[in-house]
Amino acid sequence: MTEPVAAPAPAVDPASPAAPAPGAVGAGLIELVDIVQRYPQDGGELTVIDGVTLTFDKPGIQVLLGPSGCGKSTLLRMMGGVRHPGVASPTSGTVNIDGEACHGPHEDVVMVFQRYANRPDLTVEENVRFPFRTKLWRSRIGKAEQDERTEAILEAVGLKDKRSLYPAQLSGGQNQRVALARALVLRPRILLMDEPFGALDAQTREEMQALLIEIWKGFPCQVVFITHDVDEALLLGDRVIILSTQPARIADDFVINEPKPRNGIWLQSSLANELRGRVRQMLHQGAA
Amino acid sequence: MWNPYLPLAPRERRILGITSVLAVLLIWAGLSGTGLVGPAKLPTPWAVGSAFLRLCWDADRGESLLGWATVYSSYRVFVAALLVVIVGVPLGVAMGASPRVNAALSPLVDPFRSAPVVALLPVLVLWLGIEEALKITFLFLGAVVYLVPMVRDAIVAVPRVYWISARDLGATPFEAVRLALVPIAMPRIADAVIAAVSIMWTYITVAEYVNATKGLGQLIQNAKRFSAMDQMFVGIFVIIALALVTYQIMTRLKQRLFPWETSI
Ligand SMILES: Nc1ncnc2c1ncn2[C@@H]1O[C@H](COP(=O)(O)OP(=O)(O)O)[C@@H](O)[C@H]1O
Ligand SMILES: [Mg+2]
């Protein structure tokens, strides 16, 4: 289904970190095979996801775009190995991470949530260092490297001078930076982001989008990024997958070979307008 | 205009508080001082004051009755509090973290919240005798049945996203409880401990009813036997004061230990 968009001037530069060659970095491989999700509802059943098959094998930012309530978070939680209490997830189908069926939290996969989930009882630095409190990462990463990684990521997200503040003392954007740093300090091969900038005001959202692009160059990985915002999908996506609603199926799937960062001016370009039209049409068809 | 969110200046709050306490003292002094209510039913404030001084230092005996009573009662509350925390907190955490443990233990714990623990006292006397073990056990039981469900509820109230996030970042289920759920629930657990200790101060007189040889409960009992109303009032006031002081100390300690909670 992947179909490269005919860009007027192919803006692909193999050396550019925005479009690295496949396998050039240690990005993880995600396979969703025939995913079906049903939830019990009013005595009957509600089919939320109906046969989604997807492969993410090229490193970059993969955007899952769909209207609210279409099942994006459900899909992302499966990739993160999060089980719903009392409901089988997925109902049928398999999720493979690096070729192996995923049944729970995977050490190469880290999630970032819309509401940050920063620990209120830990300072910024303690939040970022939290993974190193677990036996798993303490045994893998020595103290010196923990320090070095923490400093590097605090620098990258621009929170060095806020390190001893608590999350309650930070703005929404700063909180999302903490969440991003805490995820990236593990150098995950797969980063799952569920509408991470959805709770932010427009200007902070733009700043965070630019930051994500910049940070990604320093820590390239497989990013699966969920949004319901068409422009956000166009700005960030190396590939955009559009989900229809009730039940969710893949309505469209295309690659954007444009260098990043893309800005507001690019969003007015003829290519962006064409893509936006295409996306809007697919979302409308899905809703109909 | 009045509204429930009206911020009150500390000065105004203090003045209002002191005024109402003074008003009660005045009414008390009026009722007892004018002889409207006899000294057998209500001692005058100054009689209570001089009884307080006498109990603080008994020149004939050369010892402080009130001092010793306070030491004994405080010691009992302290030991029982220690036991309640050591037993009750882990139990509550286990119940909050595991629906299975909760299902198994809540029928044993929850009913006792409304059961009259005081009614258990005669039974406890049969089982444990009338010495120190009885007093400590009674205080322990009276408080632990409140503490355990409160600790459990504190754990259950931690939003699930912290569990998901900790597991996602490499924590085992056990680590997620230890490193995420418990620390986040700590302020509420501390509230539960504070409430449990307050309950113990209300039970101390009952605990010291049986075979009373030492303690504030005994002091009140003794005073009652000799119809010394003024001394009974002293005992009651001292217990109230001790409960207030422990409450203040523990609340301060809580703020010191969990500074992040007040910054929310
Ligand atoms: N545990 C659950 N039980 C029942 N229905 C659920 C559950 N989780 C999600 N749903 C339903 O599944 C649909 C998709 O939810 P979600 O994945 O959160 O959508 P999105 O993230 O795209 O907004 C919604 O209609 C929601 O009500
Ligand atoms: Mg969602």
Q: Which of A35, A38, A48 to probe ligand 1 with, by most ligand atoms within 8 A of CB?
A: A48
pLDDT digits (tens, 9 = 90+) for A4-62: 554 444 443 433 444 444 443 456 789 999 999 999 888 889 999 999 999 998 889 99
Q: Tell which one of A36, A39, A111 to mutate to probe ligand 1, the residue whose CB is within 8 A of the most ligand atoms.
A: A39
The stretches in chain A having pLDDT less than 70 are 1-27, 286-288
CB-hemisphere CA count at 13 Å for A81? 23
Residues in chain B with CB shorter than 8 Å from the CB of A182 are: 169
Q: Are A215 and A180 in contact (CB under 8 A)?
A: yes
Note whether B169 and A186 are within 8 A (CB).
yes
Q: Catalogue all structural domains in chain A, each as residue range(s) with its CATH number.
A: 25-108+189-288 (3.40.50.300), 115-187 (no CATH)
Q: Strands of A44-56's sheet, edge to edge? A: A44-56, A30-41, A92-97, A100-101
% of chain B beyond a pLDDT of 70: 99
> Residues of A with CB below 8 A from B177's CB?
none
Structure tokens at B204: 């101390």
Q: How far is the CA of A197 from the centre of ligand 2 (A)?
A: 12
Give residues (CB < 6 A) around ligand 1.
A 39, 48, 66, 68-74, 84, 87
Q: B263 CB near a chain A CB, below 8 Å?
A: yes
Chain B contact for A182 (CB, 8 A cutoff): yes
Specify the pLDDT at position A26. 55
> What local confidence, expressed as pLDDT, does residue B61 receive?
83
Region B184-204: mean pLDDT is: 95
Instruction: Kindly tell me if the per-residue pLDDT of B135 is higher than 70.
Output: yes
Q: Say how many CA atoms lie within 13 Å of A286 toward its Cβ.
A: 24
State chain B's mean pLDDT as an integer. 92
Mean pLDDT of B113-130: 85
Measured from the Cα of A37, ligand 1's closest atom is 12
Q: For the domain covering B67-262, report its CATH number.
A: 1.10.3720.10
B213 — pLDDT class (breaks 50, 70, 90): confident
Quote the minimal CA–CA distance from B84 to chain A in Å: 25
pLDDT for residue A7: 44
Say which of A111, A166, A183 has its CB closest to residue B263: A166
Q: What is the pLDDT of residue B247?
A: 96
Q: Do B169 and A134 touch (CB under 8 A)?
A: yes
The pTM is what?
A: 0.87
B101 vs A199, residue with greater confidence: B101
ipTM score of the complex? 0.86
Q: Helix axis angle, A202-218 relative to A172-184, nearest 10°?
A: 20
Query: What integer pLDDT is reported at residue A86 of this predicted model?
Result: 82
Identify the burial level of A3 via C-beta atoms within 10 angstroms of its C-beta, where 0-12 means exposed, 13-18 middle and 19 or more buried: exposed
Is the CB of residue B255 less than 8 Å away from at least one CB of chain A? no
Q: What is the pLDDT of residue B250?
A: 96
Contact assignment for B165 to A111 by CB distance below 8 Å? yes
